[in-house]
Structure 1
Amino acid sequence: MHSRRRYVSLGLAAVVLMLGLTATAGVSAALASKERRSAAQEMDRQVDLAQAAVAGEVRRYLDTVDTLAVALASHDVLTPEAFERITARVPGENLPGATAVVFVVPADGRAAAEPGAVAAVQDAWRAAGANGLTLRPASGVAEHFFAVYGRQLDGRPPAPAGADLAEVPAIADVLRQARGLGGAAISDAALLPDDPDRPSAGRRRALNLATPVLGAGGRLRGFVLLGLRGQDFFGGAIGEVLHPRVTATLAANREGGGLLPVATAHPIAPPSDALRRTRYLDIAHRRWRLDVAADPRELPGASSDRPLVAAAAGALPSVLLAALVYLLSSRRAKAMALVEEATRDLRAAGREARDRAALQRAILASVSEGVTVVGEDGRVLLHNPAARQLLGTAEDAEHLEDWPAHYGAYRPDRVTPFPADELPMVRALRGVPVDRAEMVILNPAHPDGILVSVSARPLDRSGGGPRGAVAVLHDITELRRHETELAQFAAVVAHDLKSPLTAVHGFAAVAAEALADAPPRPETAGFAVERIRQGATRMRAIIDDLLAYTTARDAPLHLAEVDLRPLVDAVVAERTAPRPAAHLSRAVPDGAPPVPSVRIGPLPVVCADPNLLRLVVDNLVGNAIKYTPVGRPPQVEITASTGGGGVRLEVADRGIGIPDEEKGRVFDSFYRASPVDYGGTGLGLAICRRIMERHGGSIAVEDNPGGGTRFSVLLPREPADAARPDGGWRRLQRPAETRAITHAMARSAPGVEP
């Protein structure tokens, strides 16, 4: 019998131990899975940052080259002094990796083979002031590209003028491409010619940016060529954006086909289980590949000891519980005595807990902030309900030494555990008041973590030293998130305003020089002033988008019955009206864009805010016309249908479309889908989504059968009165007058089909 009871006790203990260990393994696996997901999310964020930084820097370099070309073209005779004066500001443009800027003139290889042809080109530029210029034509080439003027940007001695750059295939190719495009172009990646002593794998990579310099009537006068060292350019673009433990490699097309790695930021050999991402960037008719890799254990917030701690914390109670089951089963009499003794202690602890709970309810009943009280021995005396909710667990830590591990307290970097001896309550026990100390609480109740501000004060110093401490906890997660969004908002605004400001600055200098010349050149000054006005117009468009973004979020709704037909007619009339020549894109060869073709179907009456709804329609129609390949007439179709408790308005086009992988992000603030050459602030669709959400509706995007994009806007037939800040009152309108004005505007716009 004794042996049988022993086996039963062992069996019960084994079952308890197995159940405990199984539960512990499940919790550890769940925590490890969550950390892997966090690592993947952080990796995607790092890739987005790198992609945006590279694309933005390339656009800035291309803008600089275009500005130099326009400034050089403004001089009828380009002298060395004029070249030096125009390029003098380039070193101050903060262009990491830039090696030299060169003015290049072309010459036909067959014509140059004739006696005296090269000498004639040489004499023409010597007459312009290039004294001592000696052109050295390469043999066996169809076309020569002579370097006439140059400015070194990397501190090296300047290369001698007169070299025939046709000897460098990558440079000759980008110059021909720039001439064919009529604008800026980027070369294939190539090995630097000044690294002949290095092995091929260790030689530095180079890129070249070129744009044509056009004279009167579009006559090609030469090229502006900007050389780049890939490693310095790439490091300057993303070196401070990426986490220092994330490795990024940029590869570009190489001469002869294939991809050549241009540069690597943070060259760290990733482990075999590293996270890897690949993105392709299409910029200036070139495709670049961005490869990003990182050890998931090195990413912020992606790795911790929580799975191991959970396993240890679960295994130990399981073993103890199994031992207790065995003890209770085998030694019943002794166990009963132990239970009785434990019960006496529990009853005493229960009375103490009830007294403490009564004290909490009396003192903290109306306190909404988290409050923690600790004794002079460091034991936690109480947490009020708000503190327990903030800390994410109903069980209190017994001692301050256990506090960081128990609640998952970390420093604001979300990686370093908060030291127990630096807790505000511990410092208050030493008599030091603490104000607004910040820590992150990261546990199963707060899997994404919350930022908490803690202030602590000593309690009762009448006995000569602190007898305890009280701490107040406040959740500042949302406050910090708003601060971060504000910082991102300011960064985007500064970045988007920098390019037009650069153009305004450059053309202001051109205008000043043209007016200061003797005699003055009013045509050049007028051209520069017009370009300044265009830059100011672009800045005003950016500011208008930002104001619309704020209005869509904060402006009160004024709901009214809105007839969609006159509203759409007015938007289409404005969007298709002929623009002055100064506003036309330089991508249009003859200066006259194709006339858009817009078909409008039957449209119903909806209940919405007229001004905000017009903003939605204007954004969708403007995008449909804007994102159309150059030279192709935009085709837009606007239709509506009713059903399902609302009205669905659809705007379809035959434009360039949106890649499937980007459809889920086009409604995010400041996000611009590929290709980025079409410009914009990335706020238009974010404004549309915010307006539709405030109306209780939605907006979606899908491919248009046959090519292009189709946007669908769902408006509820009658929004709830709770969504109306004016309590349901509707603003008085004059539909007849509005309809007459918008129909008149529609009749004056070409390409609109009723």
Structure 2
Amino acid sequence: MLAVLVACVGAGLAVVVGALVARGQHDAAEQQLARRATLVAEAVSSETGRYVDTLRTVAAATGSYTTLTAAKFAQVAEPLTEMRLAGATSIVYLVPVAHARITSVQALWRSRGVPDLTFAPAHSGGQHIFSVFNVPLDGVTTPRFGLDVTQAPAPTQALDQARRTGRVAISAAYQLIIDQNLPAERRQQSFSLTAPVRGPPDARGDRPFLGWVLMGLRGQNFVGATLNQVSQNLLDVTLRTQNVDGVDVTVATQPAGVSGRRDLSTTVDVGVADRQWQLRVQAPGKRLPGGVTKLPGLVVGAGVVVGLLLAGLVWVLATGRARARAQVNRATRDLTAAESDSRHQAGLLTAILDSISDGVAVVGPDGKFLLYNPAARVMLGVEAANDGTQDWATHFGTYRPDGQEPFPSAELPLVRAMGGESVEQVELVVRNPGHPDGVVLTVSARPLQTGSGHAGAVAVFHDFTDRKTAEIELRAARDQLAEHQAYLTQILDAIDVAVLACDTTGAILQANRVVHLTLLPGGESRTIAEAFTGAGIRGSDGAAMAVADIPLIRALAGEQIDGAELTIPLPGGAHRIMVMDARPLHAASGRIIGAVASAYEVTAQREREADLRAFAGVAAHDLSAPLAAIAGFVDILSEDLADGVEPASLTATLTRVADAVKRMRRLIDDLLSYATARDRHLNRELVDLNILVAEVIAERTAHLRFTRGGPSDQLPSIVSESLPIVDADKAMTRQLLDNLIGNAIKYTPAGEPARIVVSAEPDVGGWIRVQIADRGIGIPAGDQPHVFTSFHRAAAHTSYTGTGLGLAICHRVINRHGGTITASDNPGGGTRIQFTLPVSALPAAPLEPAGAGTGQS
């Protein structure tokens, strides 16, 4: 009986010990699984954080361009193709478009590098969101342009969230629009990461919203690539999240390659942008290092054996004691092996933490550091502090992102995580003896929970210094570029030549001051084609210039343009003539990257050339007639003298010769006056118009004499009212008055005396308006705007002698003084000529009305 009792007691004790060992192994396996699940979650969080940072950087770079083109967007997205973003399909630029503006917006983006872009609206009204640029990232996705993203609710909600918050947003799980044509077995639950794009600040500092950048992310591809290494082929990982209807769906599964019952399971949440993902981690306990082994069975077996040995001890004490000792030794070796395996797994975890580049720190509920990997030690610069959280800010030397204001200990991410709060990407500066110049870190922290309650916190540190430095250098480079551009703009604005530059799309990059004053006055066009067509510029043939004939457009095609003549219409029917040269701009590789043109005005030169041509025509025609008459009369005189004709009878012929000479002298004088009025030096002085008018009247009427017994009412009646003193060239003003008063006397109906009134009245801005009104034959309304043109004579005046230069000379004299001159009908008959001159501040001397002979009044 004693032997049976000993055997039963031994077996019972063996079962109890085996159960305790099995429980211990299960707890160890669960802890092992929890640590591995944390690694999985951190891997997913770190990788998605990299995607979020990448997308935010692309959005900022895209928004920095004043004019975004397909080439510039491809340049911004090019680094992403080298980053091996697992699961990423493509990076897309999206713009919002009202239904009524689809055609115009489509044309705009076609001109910016997507000539075949065609918008495909998903509905017939409201707001659309179209893709305009698309850069593949996985090497297999075919770019699709013009898709209306509003046909899928999930990405539409993410785009709205990103625009509203100004941060990166991730969509609910859904099938990508580009995957909907794939076979069912190849479709995946996927996501869209999106970030808002805002342009450069305007004058008020506001950054206008331009659109979004969007990255498609296939869930299975992302999970497979991200977790392949960290799971070590021991864990089944399932990613679950909500779809657009709020229903939990399985997005991706990463199965382990080992067999066995998955008797261990845990779930962790991962924050991605503004959403939560759920990771379910399962593993067979017997496959985990330090997990469930055969040790409990061995312990039970050993206990039974021990019991049997003890029972045998009753019978054979000596041999039984030896067998029992051997069994205990074997059990001890198994326990030692299990402990060694656990230590190996702990060493493996430590090696993993020591090998990663991000810093990891774990603290217990009392604030003492339990784990502090080498990367964290390097980033923080000092050893861990275990004197309480209240001194962490001083110990580690933490500051706000400005590097000046201390970061309070209570607000540190690890301290907030110890209070149960999850903290994402907090930026801070660490400056201490280990980092005297300071480093910039981003810190994410999570509370650690166990079945018994709160158990501390874990933080992950990422060194942001190089990127921050790069951003500062980029801003400095951008500021320096802006200074250089401003300097170049000042230089270009200082020269008197119009300079205009554009890129390969025809968008205007540079237009100096002279361009806005002469070539494109008042224009705010964004492209060369808009500017030239909007200004109505014509070519040398007088026809509207086609877009393909614009010198800058031709230069973009590789031509060199010299001396292209452009005509720019101006208000009031005038025009400006410019001569333009254009050249293509080449990169170092020889590729055309734009075009530049210079232009200068030749309006005055062309006017002078026209005057010279007219001058030559008049000289050739009008001078030849009196010369021919003189030659003919001289021949007649020679013949008459040779025939012995009495000299007294030759008086009429001599008079005709003298008249031809006078006519030729008058024409030459007018031509010289007209030619010199434009460029002759303006000798300004104070001129009393009363005296000048009196002198002109006296000269113009001096040859008129009363015929004894003749009618006195045939003499001119010239009334000059009180006139001011003006600031003008006296000789040119005298010629002006002589021409105008002489015309008023000459163009009078036959048999009627000339009646002329000269008056003046103040005009605006320190000017005086002088009026010469007559009762002559008048100027037809159709000729009034043109009588001041060179060699123009009204049809009604052709029966009167003259060259047609008198009023043209008056027009030039007034232009030289900066005034205006007009011709109009005089109420009651005749012509009224009005012109303006700058008035002197001196008072005018009163002058009694002057007259020619006794017939004036």
Structure 1 length-normalised TM: 0.48
Structure 2 length-normalised TM: 0.43
Asked which structure has the greater CA Rg, the reply is 2
